[in-house]
Amino acid sequence: MRFVEIEFLLKDSPEILTIHEAAALTRSSESYLRHLIQTDRLPCFKVGRNYRVIKWDVVQCFVEKPVPSIPVEPPKPVFKRLVK
């Protein structure tokens, strides 16, 4: 997403968001945001048992450090060479 799109989506939202709110506003899944949190790509803090994120951190994560949604792995060889 571009900065302008995210800024528009988050314009009227509170400064501190739940994972559910952040996922809805950025049009991504809650599990994807949890993945970003677990891999230290999205800073967060806990209130009770629930995670909270700061709106600006969400913007920074999606704009300045784009993260691929599918991990890229090198292709695996189709055929193995038989050694006799």
- 10-41: per-residue pLDDT in tens? 677 788 999 999 998 888 899 999 999 999 88
Do the Cβ atoms of 67 and 41 come closer than 8 Å? Answer: yes
Rounded to two decimals, the pTM is 0.62
3 state DSSP class of 47: strand
DSSP calls for 15-30: SEEEHHHHHHHHT--H
Which domains does the chain carry?
A: 3-63 (3.90.105)
Q: If we measure between CA atoms, which residue out of 53, 66, 1 comes closest to residue 27?
A: 1
For residue range 54-73, list pLDDT tens digits in order: 988 888 887 765 555 555 56
